[in-house]
Amino acid sequence: MALLHPLSPDHNEEVAEMARFFNETLGFCPNSVLTMQRRPAIAKAFIALNMAVMENQGRVTSDLKRLIGYVASNTAGCQYCQAHTIRAAERYGATEEKMLNICRYQTHPAFSEAERAALDLAHAASTVPNSVDEVLNERIRAHWDEGEIVEILGVIALFGYLNRWNDSMGTPLEWPAAESGRQWLGEEGWTGGKHIS
């Protein structure tokens, strides 16, 4: 059961205007944002951060950013964010092969060495305690420039916030995200957990 229930999408006009960003990424405004808007400054700051982090300025593509978010969320155990990231990855053009094999990215041929390094960073940075080490740092630097590393870690850190928010809040999962979770992650054991009522 949710700690707090989402408010109406039109509860705060400024938040609603900024939240249109999510119509492209997910096809709806997430319940996490609708809950945050009890404090509009938090909701607006989160949306602005999300927009900045997900903006592409290098080779870290939109679909890879969402798969990085998935690996971070899977490591943290947040099924709400797992469903959202796999849905967004699909909407941004991730291949079926990558989505069906994201849990096997370390060995599956659909993933390049650069992608594996980024996804390994997502996993290591999302463990508690953090397990990023110099060996991984060297792998990351071998494939990505400094700006791209900032983008990759921006995604990981953004989902660190969301994983804690949504799992602690027990945010109810929206129907389209639940369907994406079932379609792409069901065979990996995804159920939606506490986020499905």
* DSSP secondary structure, the chain, as one string: --SSPPPPTTSSHHHHHHTTHHHHHTSS--HHHHHHTTSHHHHHHHHHHHHHHH---SS--HHHHHHHHHHHHHHHT-HHHHHHHHHHHHHTT--HHHHHTGGGTTT-TTS-HHHHHHHHHHHHHHSSS----HHHHHHHHHH--HHHHHHHHHHHHHHHHHHHHHHHHTPPPPHHHHHHHHHHHGGGT---GGG--
Average model confidence (pLDDT) for the chain?
A: 97
Residues 169-180: what's their mean pLDDT?
98
Q: Are residues 173 and 86 in the same domain?
A: yes
Alpha carbon distance 152, 38 (integer Å): 30
Task: Let me know if residue 75 belongs to a domain.
Answer: yes
Task: Let me know if residue 80 belongs to a domain.
Answer: yes
Alpha carbon distance 98, 75 (integer Å): 17
Positive or negative CA dihedral for 90, 94, 156, 111? Answer: positive
Residues 23-37: what's their mean pLDDT?
96
Alpha carbon distance 102, 166 (integer Å): 22
pLDDT digits over 65-110, tens only? 999 999 999 999 999 999 999 999 999 999 999 999 999 999 999 9
Q: Are residues 72 and 134 in the same domain?
A: yes
Confidence class for position 197, pLDDT limits 50, 70, 90: confident
Task: Let me know if residue 196 belongs to a domain.
Answer: no
Q: Are residues 182 and 129 in the same domain?
A: yes
Q: Are residues 91 and 173 in the same domain?
A: yes
- Residue 137 neighbours by CB under 8 Å, 6+ apart: none
Alpha carbon distance 68, 121 (integer Å): 9
Please report the pLDDT score of residue 58 as a whole number. 82
Q: Are residues 23 and 97 in the same domain?
A: no
Q: Which domain holds residue 31?
A: 7-55
Please report the pLDDT score of residue 57 as a whole number. 86
User: What Cα–Cα distance (Å) separates residue 27 from each residue in 24, 88, 89, 93, 104?
Assistant: 6, 9, 12, 14, 27
Number of domains observed in the structure of the chain: 2
Please report the pLDDT score of residue 162 as a whole number. 98
Residues 137-143: what's their mean pLDDT?
98
Backbone angles phi, psi at 71, to 5 degrees: -60, -40
pTM for this structure?
0.97
Tokens 């921006």, residue located: 154
Residue 174 has pLDDT above 90, yes or no: yes
Q: Are residues 33 and 63 in the same domain?
A: no
Q: In this structure, what token pair is assigned to residue 131? A: 């397990």
Q: Are residues 51 and 63 in the same domain?
A: no
Q: Are residues 34 and 129 in the same domain?
A: no
